[in-house]
Amino acid sequence: MNWLSNFARPGLKKKGDEEKRDTPENLWIKDPISGDLIYRSELEASHWVAPSGFHMRIGPEPRFKQLFDDQAWQKITLPKVETDPLKFKDDKKYVDRLKAARGKVHRDDTMEAGYGRVGGLPTVILVQDFEFMGGSLGMAAGEAFITAAEAAVRRKAAMVVITASGGARMQEGILSLMQLPRTTLAVQMLKEAGLPYIVVQADPTTGGVTASYAMLGDIHIAEPGALIGFAGPRVIEQTIRQKLPEGFQRSEYLLDKGMVDMVVDRRQLKATLSTILSVLMSKRAANAGAEAETVEMFDAEEEAPASKRKPAKAPRAKAAE
């Protein structure tokens, strides 16, 4: 390095020596509807609901913090599945897509599950993260759903699923489609155990997820403005060659047509779930006792691996042969 490049006049600091400002790059976030800039801290305090009422997409961590009592939950360990069983490749290898998605969200797949209490009642919450390959349903997501359902049965707990997905994962072909009947059988396992199964449909909830566990709940709650359906509006318009009604497949439209039970602002979701669970679990709460498996709760602690737990009384849901 030339000594001239290190030269600086007395009393002047070199550009590289200036102290960096301790300001995060994402301090401001733009409201997609109004275009206003909002402090990130203000959005976090309002559970990522903009002043315009727009509900931004969020992942498992903020969901758990909002819904579990005292922000305390126990992470449920989800089983690993075979990576790229079909050796799929389009313009990129499937393994490369998985690697990029995992690096983005720091999680193996789209699902994350936790066990804790909602309104004082034992609850398993399963969250589908749209950030991971569009929340697509594959083998890992199917196994996660079944594992969460088994945990709910074992603990005599309610199960709440928050969906956000573009549908089945094309890179896994028929193995992805087989998760539809498998998750359906897991829902039936919850119903046979007499446990509440509540679905919260976030934006978007489409494709095979809508065709299976997203529409099998005892109660369906939709977030405002969420897109919910099987095929998208553009595909339907091209098929029927007609213009669709205003707000078609959005939460409010589906509420009017009876497809969902209620549309609830995310800021009122915790109170709504607590009320619903207090009604659906009233008999179990009165009779709770020796049968339910209990664990001590710690903040964001992880549940022991399945090999160290007591086996579930109900068998694992399997696809029909």
Q: Which domains, ranges and CATH numbers included, belong to the chain?
A: 21-54 (no CATH), 57-308 (3.90.226.10)
pLDDT of residue 314: 46
Mind listing the pLDDT tens digit for each residue in 168-226?
A: 999 999 999 999 999 999 999 999 999 999 999 999 999 999 999 999 999 999 999 99
pLDDT band at 6 (very low <50, low <70, confident <90, very high): low
Position 136 pLDDT exceeds 60: yes
* The predicted structure's pLDDT at residue 92: 93
Give per-residue pLDDT as tens, 227-284. Answer: 999 998 999 999 999 999 999 999 999 999 999 999 999 999 999 999 999 999 987 6
Cα 114 to Cα 123: distance, rounded to the nearest angstrom = 8
Q: Average pLDDT for residues 276-295, to the nearest whole number?
A: 69
> Mean pLDDT score of the chain, rounded to an integer?
87
With 0.85 as the threshold, say if the pTM is over it: no
Q: Report the pLDDT value the prediction gives residue 183, as an integer from 0 to 100.
A: 98
Strand partners, 115: 74, 124
Torsional sign, CA 15, 17, 22, 26 = positive
Low-confidence winner among 22-31, 53-62, 75-84, 262-271 (lowest mean pLDDT): 22-31
Contacts for 308 with CB less than 8 Å, ≥ 6 apart: none
pLDDT at 308: 47
pLDDT recorded at residue 299: 44
